[in-house]
Amino acid sequence: MKGLFTAFCLFLSAFASAQSDDKLFGPANAPKARKGFIINGNAQFDIPAGDMAKRFGYSYRLGPALMYKTFSNFIFGAKFDFIMGGTVKEDSLMINVRDKYSTQNTKVYEFINGNGQRIGVPVFERGYAVGLAFGKIFSFSKQHPDNGLTVMGTAGFMQHKINIFDKDKSVPQIRGNYRKGYDRLTNGAFGEAFIGYSYFANNGLLNFTIGFDALVGFTQGRRDYLYDVMRPDTKQRLDVLYGIRGGWYIPIFRRKSEDMMFD
C-alpha cells in the first residue's frame, strides 16, 4: 500500500506541474474560478484497519454527493456512501446453529433447513456512512483556476453489520428477530480526510477527482446479546477504512456577470 500511495503522490505532482505551465499564447485575461453546485458520484476501494480488520476484509464504497463550490474554491456539502464487502472473519459467527459439517469459507455458511436439506447461506459486509463535508481546491494555474490539489474533511454517522442472506427464509434459526442476535450491528460517529486532485474541463465534459481517503469510525456494538457467543456486543470500537477514491463530477456552474459578458 505504501508503494501505491507513493505512486499516487508522484502522479499528483506531475499533473499539478503540467497544469501550472500556462500556455505562452493563452488569453490576455486569465479566466476566473467558477461557482455552483456539483453532483458527484464516488467509488472507493478500502483496506480495513483497527477493529474493522478483525471482522471484515477488503471492501468498497459507492455513493453520491452534493457539493457547492465558491469562487474562492471552497467546497462544502453532504455525501453518502454505501459500504460493501464479501469477506467476514468472525470465526464464531452462528457456530451454535450452523451445520457442524459446514465448510465455512468466510462467504457461505451451511445449515439444515426446515425440510432437512443442507443449504448454503452467504454472508456479506454491509453498511453506510453519511456526513457533511468541507474543503478547498488549491489551484496551481492561473489558466485553470478550478483545478488543483483538493483537501476535504467529512464528519458524520456510520453503520455496518453482517448481512446474513437467507433469501428463501428457509432456516428458522436465523429468521426474523433471531438474525439480530448474529449480525453484529455497529454504529457511531466518524471523521474522514481526503487529499487528491480535482479537474474541471473548460468544455464541461471531463470532470473528475481522484485521491487518497481515510475514514476513522468511533463506533460501538449495538446488540444487547449475541446468541452464538452468549454475551452482549456493546464495546467501543475503532473502525478504520483507507484507500483510493475516485469520483465523477457533474458541475452546474455560474460565472460572475462580468465574465459572462465577455464569453
pLDDT at 22 over 70: no
Question: Is residue 70's pLDDT more than 90?
Answer: yes
Q: What are the residues whose beta carbons fall under 8 Å from the beta carbon of 54, sequence distance 6 or more?
A: 89
Of the two residues 230 and 116, the one the predictor is more confident about is 230
Kindly state whether residue 256 falls inside one of the protein's structural domains: yes
Read off the CATH number of the domain in which 42 is found: 2.40.160.20
Structural domain includes residue 74: yes
Residue 241 CA to residue 214 CA, distance in Å, equals: 6
Residue 98 domain-assigned?
no
| Predicted pLDDT of residue 223 | 96
Helix (H, G, I), strand (E, B) or coil at 50: strand
Q: Which of 30-34, 101-105, 154-158 has the lowest mean pLDDT?
A: 101-105
Give the structural domain span for 256.
2-18+31-87+125-261
- Name the pLDDT band for 257 (thresholds 50, 70, 90): very low
Is residue 77 a part of any domain in this protein?
yes
Tens of pLDDT, residue by residue over 104-140, are: 666 888 888 888 888 889 999 999 999 999 999 999 8
DSSP 142: S
136 domain-assigned = yes
Q: How far is CA 154 from CA 67, 68, 103, 168, 177, in A?
A: 12, 14, 41, 39, 34
Say if 200 falls within a structural domain.
yes
Instruction: Give residue 260's pLDDT.
Output: 39
* 237, part of any domain: yes
Q: Is residue 107 part of a domain?
A: no
User: What pairs with residue 128 in β-bridges?
Assistant: 82, 159
Residue 148 pLDDT exceeds 60: yes
Task: Compute the residue count for the chain.
Answer: 263
DSSP states along 88-114: B--TTTTTTTS-TT----SSEEEEE-T
Query: Which pTM does this prediction carry?
Result: 0.84
What DSSP state is assigned to residue 166? -
Contact assessment for residue 134 and residue 156, using Cβ atoms and an 8 Å cutoff: no
Q: How far apart are CA 263 and CA 183, in angstroms?
A: 58
Residues 176-220: tens digit of each pLDDT:
899 999 999 999 999 999 999 999 998 778 999 999 999 999 999
For residue 3, give every residue at least 6 positions away whose Cβ sits within 8 Å of its Cβ, in sequence order, or none. none
Q: Which of 60-69, 170-179, 222-231, 241-250 has the lowest mean pLDDT?
A: 170-179
Return d(Cα 113, Cα 95) in angstroms, integer: 15
Structural domain count, the chain: 1
